[in-house]
Structure 1
Amino acid sequence: MTPLPNISPQSGSLLISEPFLQDENFVRSVVLLCENNEMGSFGLVLNKLSIFKLDELLDGCDLQDKEVYVGGPVEQNTLHFIYQGEQALEDSISLGNGLWWGGDFAELMEKYRQGKINSADFRFFIGYSGWDQGQLDEEVTGNTWIVCDNTHARNIFKAEPDDLWRVILKEMGGDFQVLANYPIDPRLN
C-alpha cells in the first residue's frame, strides 16, 4: 500500500486514529480538532459514548436523556459542546462547514426552551483531548493520526458512534477505504 497522505492539522480538522493505535483513549477514534496553535491543541473525541445523560450531570437541565460523549481523557469534570447548522449562539466558534464549537450554555438552554434550536443538532462531551506544543504534529508525522478536513462533518450527527471511524475512512476513498476494513485484531482474521 502506498503511504497515506496527510494534511496539516488545523482547527476544524478531523483526526482519525490509525487502525492499530493501542491507546485505550483513542482506539478507532475520530477527534474534532477545535483549536491548534503555538500553545498546543484541543479536540473532542466524537465517537465514544459515556454512560451519562446530560440531565444526570446538570441539575435542572431541560435536555432530558441527551447523550453525552467522552471528549477525551483530560479534565473529565468539564462539559463542552458542538453543533451543526447556522450559528445559534453568539459566542460560538466556527470550525467550518456549518460546524460550531461552544458558546454560552445559558443561552443554549434559553433558546432550547423557546423552541429556537433542535437538540439533535448538538453534541455534548465530558472532558477533552489535549496536546502540548508540537506534540500533535509529532503524532501526525509518526502516523498516529490521519488528518482530513471536516467535509465529512455531516457524519458526526448521522453515523452511529461505533461506525463513525469506518464511515469517514470509507468516504475518503482510495487507501483510506482499505484501512476502514482492517480488523481490530488482525490475528483473529
Structure 2
Amino acid sequence: MNTTPPAITNGDLLIAEPYMGDTNFERSVVLICEHSQAGTFGLVLNQLTDIHLSDVIEEIHPDLPLFVGGPVQQNTLHFIHRRPDLIDGSICVVDGLYWSGDFEQIKRAVNLGTLTERDVRFFIGYSGWNEGQLDAELTQKAWIISRITADFLFDTPTNEFWRGVLKRMGGEYKSIAHYPVDPRLN
C-alpha cells in the first residue's frame, strides 16, 4: 500500500471526498494559493455566505458576494481575480488566476465597475494546514486533487462547482459527482 501523499502545487484544487465528515469542508473545493514545507494556504471556492462585501467594507458600493474561504481567521479578507492589469502586486496562482494585490486598487476598480464578480471573488477566512497536516489528510484519501482554469472558476455557478469539477475530471470522478449528500436517504 502506497502511503506517500501526492505532490501538491500552487493552483491545485482539493476536492472534498463525498463523505469526508468535516462540516467545514463538506462538498468543498479548495484552491491552493500557497504550498510549501512550512504549510499550505487555500481558499474554499464554493461556500457562499448570506452577506456581501459592502456589508464588511464601507467604501465598497456594489453588492458583490462574499464567500467563506475556510475556518481559519474568519476576521480576515482575501481575494482571487483574473485582472492583474488592474491590480498591482498580484500573485499568479495558475495561468490566468491571481491572488491578492493592492487593495486600494481593488476598491477603486470595484466601485468604478471595471472589476465585477465575473473577475474577482472575495473570501472571509481561509483554509490552512501546518507542516505535514495536509500530507496526512491526502494519505487518508480525504481529498481528490485536480486543476481548473480561471474561466471555469468564475463561470461555473457556486452551487454546481463541486459536481462540475468532478464531472470535468471524467471516469470514476464523474460518478462520484452524483453521490447523495446523505447516503441513508437514498
TM surpasses 0.5: yes
Indicate if the aligned counterparts of 1:10 and 1:33 stay in contact, CA closer than 8 A. Answer: yes
Q: Match of 2:9?
A: 10
> So what's the TM-score if we normalise by structure 1?
0.90
- Tell me how far 1:85 sits from its aligned partner: 4.8
**Is contact 1:32–1:45 with CA below 8 Å preserved after alignment?**
yes
Matched-pair contact (CA < 8 Å) for 1:87–1:100: no
One-letter identity of the residue aligned with 1:134: G
Relative to 1, partners in 2 of residues 1:182 and 1:119: Cα closer, same or farther, differing over 3 Å? Answer: closer
Residue type matched to 2:15 in 1? I
Q: TM-score, normalized by length of structure 2?
A: 0.91
SS in structure 1 at match of 2:9: coil
Which amino acid counterpart does residue 39 of structure 1 have in structure 2?
A
- Structure 1 vs Structure 2 CA RMSD: 1.7
Contact 2:119 2:154 in 1 (8 A): yes
Stretch deviating more after TM superposition (161-170 or 116-125): 116-125
Q: Deviations over 1:34-53 (max 9, x none)?
A: 01101100000000011210
Specify whether residues 85 and 113 from structure 1 end up closer, same or farther in structure 2 by C-alpha distance, changes over 3 A only.
Answer: closer
Query: What is residue 104 of structure 2 aligned with on the other side?
Result: 106
Equivalent-residue separation in structure 2 for 1:88 and 1:176 (angstroms): 37
Counterparts in 2 of 1:179 and 1:119: CA distance versus 1, 3 Å: closer
Once the 2 structures are TM-superposed, how far is the Cα of residue 87 of structure 1 from its aligned partner? 4.2
Equivalent residues of 1:8, 1:147 under 8 A apart: no
The structure-2 alpha-carbon separation of the partners of 1:15 and 1:77, relative to structure 1 and needing over 3 Å to count, comes to same
2:71 maps to amino acid: P
Specify every segment of 5 or more residues in structure 2 that has no aligned partner in the other structure, as ranges: none
Match of 2:124 in 1: 126
Q: What is the deviation of 1:142?
A: 1.0
For 1:61 and 1:86, the matched residues in 2 are separated by 19
SS in 2 for 1:10: coil
C-alpha distance in structure 2 between counterparts of 1:85 and 1:108, whole Å: 10
Contact 2:60 2:111 in 1 (8 A): no
**Which residue is equivalent to 1:180?**
177
How far the C-alpha of 1:115 sits from its partner, in A, is 5.0
User: Distance between the aligned counterparts of 1:72 and 1:162, measured in 2?
Assistant: 17
Note if 1:58 corresponds to 2:73.
no
Residue aligning to 1:164: 161
User: SS in structure 1 opposite 2:87?
Assistant: coil
The aligned amino acid for 1:32 is: L
Distance 1:183 1:74 in 2: 28
Q: Does 1:148 align with 2:151?
A: no
SS at match of 2:165: helix
* CA displacement at 1:144 relative to structure 2: 0.4
Deviation at 1:139, TM superposition (A): 0.8
Q: What number of residue pairs does the alignment pair up?
A: 182
